[in-house]
Structure 1
Amino acid sequence: MRQLILHIGSHKTGTTAIQHWIAANRDVLARRGIADLSFGEEPNAHGFLTWDEPGPIFPRGFRLDKPAEFAEALAAVQAERVIVSSENFSFFFEQKAIGQLARLVKPLFDEVVVLCYLRRQDRHAVSHHMEGARPARPPEWELWGHGFGALPQVNPLQALYLDYDKRLAKWEKAFGRKALRVRVFDRARLEGGDIVTDFLTTLGIDAEGCSTPETVNTSLDRVKARIGHMANAMTGNEEVTKALLRATPNSKTPARPGRLVAKGFLARYVAGNRALNARLGISQIPELFDDDFDDLPDEPMQTWSDEEFNRAMRSAVTVVKRLIDASAPPRLDDLSAAARALAATAPVRALRLVELALLQRPSGRALLAMQAELQANIASGQHMDLSDGPDGEDE
């Protein structure tokens, strides 16, 4: 029986760790009749998905980029069990997009499993909002914004993602209730306290003889998160954000909301969580998730310590200095020396260097003499070293 496993996320539930584990163990899995469909050299299927451009990504969300090519690639995978993993399937907000996916894959397989991990909404929002502090994250920027708090400022689009009851109802409608395997992402409730172990156990995949790759996708601390959000909001320049994040050391102090703020954020989704759990029987807890907020402070940590402020300032100053150094014009001595070195072999290039130097010092006697000599050599077709320049200051 040929089976398709659609691993649809959600984001921030260890999907990267799962994808890297699969990629690291492809040979072993292949001997057991298991393969994955990835795009290019990436260990995931992100490249098969897209959104409509130009314009906002949401509320429409993602869809298949080239449906026929996706179906062809999927049909070409020769294995009894095929895994397609992309957390960006969780951005499929329209029934039309999910229905199209279902119509394409169902004829190719005897069974389709849709596996989704869900994280308590306040915890998910904190982590996913932090992801928007990284460069090149348009969906996260649009969905969560660039606020400086641990939790994003609430907007109507967020319910498209965080109302798990309505979101998964669309997948249930397209694939059927039996296809859905929904797991709670909480290390205390995962098999072995580990997302990869839980993934394999849920799907009945034997891990014997497989290797465990290094942990990837390190979270940003609260200083780096604020710096990244500020850079993205102010500049929209990917290179600026990258430079600032690289220059800022990471600590182990995460961004955390206050207890009451987190409870208030979660409250709007409790009824939907209860309805989803009643329908699918996911958790022994009626509300689907625990209501433990003891790991959070009474009040949100808004103020930076002196160490955090200094760390942020050091990174900003470091990046500014690098930018200034990179944009500084070449020194006159360097241009002059390079021109002399090229005069006999590449006089046209040597002349260009002298002309650049003259932009900095238009009346430089030595530079003007070099320019005249190079022009004469080029006109006569002679390639020779330059004579020594005039004595004295080059003014």
Structure 2
Amino acid sequence: MAPDLILHIGQSKTGTSSIQRVLGARRPALAKLGVCYPAAPGWANHGMLPASLVSLDRLGHFNPALWEGIGAAARLDRFRRDFAAEMAALPATTRLIILSAEQCGGLLNTPEEVGRLRDLLAPLARRLRVVVYLRRQDQHFASGYTQALRIAQINPPTMPQAGPERLGQYDYARLLDLWAGIFGADALLVRIFERDLLRNGDAVDDFLALCGIDLAVPQDDPDRQSNLSLTPGGIDLLRSMGAWMKATPQGLSAASPLWRRFVQAASETLPGRGWRPHPAEAAAFLGRFEAVNEAVRRRWFPDRPRLFAPLEVPEGPPPGAGPPPVDQAAALQAALALLEREMRVGAEREANQHAAIGRLHERLGESGPARTAYRAALRAVPDHPVAQQQLAEMALADGDRTTAMAHLAVLQRAHPDQAATRRLAQRLGTPAT
């Protein structure tokens, strides 16, 4: 019997990256449960799937690294072959296929485009279902501001002066009508992205429950923490760096490897809540979608008094006109934190390289060069565990217990829980700390 298929189309900024990373990292465990999370469309995000159904000129915002150096056309042709082969090779025990790509909602905008996707997937499954999470428009736009910065759109943070007629991505009634018209209303599983309405207040747990998958994912699992926003200082830093790069001869581009490396480093160093508009500004924006949201409520959530939780607007005057300027002091503090982290990461990378060279010299029986390499590692990172351990072992081999004990003292202070530290302590007859 053919498996069921669940197509998760987003929206973006509703925990999609976390869901995708959790699923991508657990393919073997899912396979044991009879669930296939295909690899051909992407390791985590299955963006190749909708990308293969539109013209190439629509893919300018895609990360160029996805094309793996062979260009979009050739890479998408390979995806089509690989995906067909992967689906043909599904084991008989597969009961469910899951596909997840928030780009579906952004790229596939016409009945013809959505119909091409349905025609591609229908032969694979006995039943198709489409999962979509809806987030209140003001929250979604504010959350997406950081993502816009990441793709080199360095506009100042402010809510747009437009409604559904120009911001079609926020016309949820049209979105749901489009997909229901192609897949059928009964196939749509529509969820509201609000903590009180999600299983355990979490998008990953909610999606797994929706799919009927009994898979334990610890709350502190790093895959749950994906695509985080930035601190206010981090946002100001990206705005400042973007403006500076824009004025350089090479210019600013989302495709720039330099910009992407900078954004990744800033995201890892400065995670935060992102930009938050003034409630009065958010309320004015949200009010333009009142009719759209009421249409969605009537059709899909008739038992709810309103589609989304209300926005609380405090009393008092609204903020001053115009977007906020860059806070140079906050940008500087963020830059210093980023610089410190990059220096530390660089030192660790250098130390690891020296330690690897030391291990190679040891395998070749060259103890002198090995010691030199390990000591170079310690100049970069004084408590580097491999270098400290190997130098201690070499000292023991030479009968120099005093030096070995000195290295052990560093390991016990800096890396007390490592197995190598405990083994060395046992060899030296020293109680573990």
Counterparts of residues 330-349 of structure 1 (less than 5 Å): none
Residue aligning to 1:276: 296
**SS of 2:24's equivalent?**
helix
2:188 pairs with one of 180, 188, 194: 180
Write the deviation string for residues 2-27 of structure 1: whole angstroms up to 9, x where unpaired.
20000111101111111122233333
Letter in 2 for 1:190: L
SS at match of 2:295: helix
Per the alignment, residue 356 of structure 2 pairs with none
State the partner residue of 1:191: 199
Q: Is contact 1:106–1:112 with CA below 8 Å preserved after alignment?
A: yes
TM-score normalized with structure 2 length:
0.61
Give the CA deviation at 1:44. 2.7
Letter in 2 for 1:88: Q
Per the TM alignment, residue 108 of structure 1 is displaced from its structure 2 partner at its CA by: 2.2
Give the Cα–Cα distance (whole angstroms) in 1 for the partners of residues 168 and 214 of structure 2: 35
Structure 1: runs of 5 or more not aligned: 59-63, 319-395
Distance in 2, matches of 1:317 and 1:29, equals 40
The answer to which structure has the higher helix fraction is 2
Q: 1:164, 1:150 → 2: CA distance?
A: 22
1:148 equivalent to 2:156? Answer yes
Q: 1:337: which partner in 2?
A: none
Q: 1:52 aligns with which of 44, 52, 55?
A: 55
Aligned residue for 1:182, secondary structure, equals strand
Q: Does 1:81 align with 2:100?
A: no
Deviations along 1:227-273, whole A, 9 cap, x unmatched? 43554562224414533663685264631111111011111212111
- For residue 312 of structure 2, the aligned residue among 282, 293, 298 is 293
Letter in 2 for 1:74: M
Residue 243 of structure 1 is matched in structure 2 by: 262
Give the whole-Å Cα distance in 2 for the aligned partners of 1:100 and 1:185: 28
Q: 8 Å contact 2:156–2:325 — kept in the other structure?
A: no
C-alpha contact 2:145 2:275 (8 A) present in aligned 1: no
| Equivalent residue number for residue 6 of structure 2 | 5
8 Å CA contact 1:102, 1:175 repeated in 2? yes
Larger Rg: 1
1:111 CA drift (Å) = 0.5
Aligned residue for 2:30, secondary structure, equals helix
Matched-pair contact (CA < 8 Å) for 2:172–2:293: yes
Alignment equivalent of 1:167, drawn from 150, 154, 175? 175
Cα shift at 1:100 = 0.5
Which AA in structure 2 matches 1:20? Answer: R
- The one-letter code of the counterpart of 1:310 is L
**Is residue 2:324 matched to residue 1:302?**
yes
Match of 1:256 in 2: 276
1:16 correspondence with 2:24: no
Alignment partner, residue 216 of structure 1: 225
SS of 1:126's equivalent in the other structure is helix
Q: Which amino acid aligns with 2:118?
A: A
- Contact between 2:35 and 2:97, CA under 8 Å: does it hold in 1? yes
2:145–2:157 Cα contact (<8 Å) kept = no
Separation (CA, whole Å) in 2 of partners of 1:317 and 1:24:
31
Which residue of the partner structure matches residue 25 of structure 1? 26
Tell me by how many angstroms 1:73 deviates: 3.8
Contact 2:50 2:117 in 1 (8 A): no
Quickly say closer, same or farther: Cα 1:156–1:242, change in 2 above 3 A: farther
C-alpha contact 2:130 2:188 (8 A) present in aligned 1: yes
1:153 Cα offset (Å): 6.2
* TM-score normalised by structure 1 residue count: 0.66
8 Å CA contact retained: 1:8, 1:85? yes
- The answer for the alignment partner of 2:109 in structure 1 is 93
Question: How far 1:104 moved relative to its partner?
Answer: 1.7
> Is the Cα–Cα contact under 8 Å of residues 133 and 191 in structure 2 kept in the other structure?
yes
Q: Which residue of 1 aligns with 2:373?
A: none
How far apart, in 1, do the equivalents of 2:31 and 2:266 lie?
Answer: 41
Deviation at 1:317, TM superposition (A): 9.3
- Taking only the aligned residue pairs, the percentage that are identical comes to 27
Q: Give the whole-Å Cα distance in 2 for the aligned partners of 1:46 and 1:296.
A: 43
In the alignment, the residues of structure 2 paired with residue 35 and residue 228 of structure 1 have an alpha-carbon distance, to the nearest angstrom, of 38
Say if 2:129 and 2:187, in contact at 8 Å, map to a contact too: yes
Give secondary structure in 1 for the equivalent of 2:157: coil
Query: Is it true that 1:311 corresponds to 2:333 in the alignment?
Result: yes
Within 1, Cα distance between the matches of 2:55 and 2:242? 22
Contact 1:147–1:153 at 8 Å: present in 2 too? no
Counterpart for residue 238 of structure 2:
228
**In structure 2, how many angstroms separate the alpha carbons of the residues matched to 1:245 and 1:227?**
13
Q: Residue 283 of structure 2 contacts residue 311 of structure 2 at CA under 8 Å; is this kept in 1? A: no
Alpha-carbon distance between aligned partners in 2 of 1:57 and 1:34, rounded to the nearest angstrom: 32
Give 1:49 deviation, angstroms.
3.3
Distance across 1 between alignment mates of 2:335 and 2:31: 50
My pick for the range that moved more, 156-165 or 244-253, is 244-253
- CA deviations on 1:333-386 (whole Å, 9 max, x unpaired) are xxxxxxxxxxxxxxxxxxxxxxxxxxxxxxxxxxxxxxxxxxxxxxxxxxxxxx
Structure 1 pair 129–283 and aligned structure 2 pair: CA distance change class (3 A): farther
Residues paired across the two proteins, number: 307
Deviations 1:293-352 (A, max 9, x none): 36999638935667414325658999xxxxxxxxxxxxxxxxxxxxxxxxxxxxxxxxxx
Cα distance in 2, alignment partners of residues 280 and 80 from structure 1:
28
**Map of 1:119 onto structure 2:** 135
Say what the alpha-carbon RMSD is for the aligned residues: 3.7
Report the AA paired with residue 30 of structure 2: L
Q: Aligned partners of 2:20 and 2:260: how far apart in 1?
A: 26
